[in-house]
Amino acid sequence: MVKKFLSGNEAFAEGIRLASPQVISAYPITPQTIVVERLSEMVEDGSLTSEFIHVESEHSALSCAIGASAVGARAFTATSSQGLLYMAECLYYASGGRYPIVMMNANRSVALPWNIYGDQRDSISQLDSGWIQAYAENAQESLDLALMSWYIAENPKVSTPFMVNLDGFILTHTYETVDIPTKKQADAFLPAYITEHKLDVEQPKNAAFSAGPDYNYIFKYKEHEGLLAAREVIVEAESRFKRIIGRKYTGLIDPYKTEDAEYILITLGTISGLCREVCDKLREQGKKVGVLRLRYLRPFPNEEIAKVVQHAKAIGVLEKDISFGNEGTVYTNVNSALKKYGVSAVSYNFIGGLGGSDISIQDIEMIYKKIESGTQSVQFIGIEVNDK
């Protein structure tokens, strides 16, 4: 194990190096660019043996990865924001084809107005595209997810592409101390990718074909089953990771001081750390509060959320996303989980961080107060009209 001081982008690139992808398709976009820059340097200096392909657009980047995966290669690409939206057509080809591509997305606001700073509207807008989606909190988790994502995506029961999301600038460009596994450890954790479901002139197979009404829905159901199967494989991957590399993760969710909590704040990504700090402060004041971080949005942790919050009086969902004309998409998903499992806790939605706007300690303290006292069901942090 080697210790280095790395940004989230650099840590993720180290994880990809350890996974030894055979093809990397690269196109730059802020704040993702550093990932593919570092990988190009690794290919150049020989520390990574891979075909590094410069493409002309994000659409081409994912198209290239699909082609590589279709012939049985381990393929990687990365993007952000408008680039992810430009890939949108290809996202469905990758998931429908059951190609276990790994892609890093640097979460960034989408236009207009033009903005390069971080919120999560880009990836959350693509929840229905059939990809596994994980959200890292720090650089260490970013590196580890880069490795674990391959293990999960390539499992035959899953065979589904995997999008790892890192908060733009807050995580991608912030430096932290990171423990890097040895190549020997990485190889022991992640077996080589071998699949029979590939284009092969010796054993010809049909792929990317048309399917009419009689069969199309069956393929979609199988795709759905693959994502659901990822729940079990995520647990398996984390158990294996703990045994071989020594770090422990907590599955689809990451609860903090929720066992006796009356008021729980649900969130995802880097803001979770600040929420835990405020939680500790309020605990010292005698408040029974907790934090529930969502590590995955697909597959969605319905049962896990319901179990954690079943005895809470009220919950709040803090997210950097809005489904215009309705509410936050994470809030919609959480409420569905509460309804499905008969949880009676009152729920509130707090929208913040759009376009990289700051969410402060004071904001989170205010959120906890409003969860306890009651408030409007959906409100934007810092926009006073919501408090009138």
Interval 197-247: pLDDT, tens? 899 888 888 888 899 999 999 999 999 999 999 999 999 999 999 999 999
Q: Percent of the chain beyond pLDDT 70? A: 99
Could you tell me if 77 and 22 are in contact, meaning their C-beta atoms sit under 8 angstroms apart? Answer: no
Is the predicted pLDDT of residue 386 greater than 50, yes or no?
A: no
Q: What tokens were used for 340?
A: 């499905």
Is the predicted pLDDT of residue 387 greater than 80, yes or no?
A: no
Give pTM, 2 decimals: 0.97
For the stretch 183-191, contacts whose Cβ atoms lie closer than 8 Å and that sit 24 or more positions apart, written own/partner, are 183/18, 185/1, 185/244, 185/245, 186/18, 186/19, 186/147, 186/245, 188/244, 189/147, 189/151, 189/240, 189/241, 189/244, 189/245, 190/18, 190/19, 190/147, 190/150, 190/151
Could you tell me if 290 and 304 are in contact, meaning their C-beta atoms sit under 8 angstroms apart? Answer: no
CA distance 7 to 173: 5
Say what the pLDDT of residue 297 is: 98
Tell me the pLDDT of the chain averaged across its residues.
Answer: 96
Could you tell me if 264 and 315 are in contact, meaning their C-beta atoms sit under 8 angstroms apart? Answer: yes
Residue 385 confidence class, pLDDT cut points 50, 70, 90: low
Q: What tokens were used for 315?
A: 């919950």
More confident residue, 353 or 388: 353
CA distance 349 to 378: 5
pLDDT single digits (tens) 147-190: 999 999 999 999 999 999 999 999 999 999 999 999 999 999 99
pLDDT single digits (tens) 339-358: 999 999 999 999 999 999 99
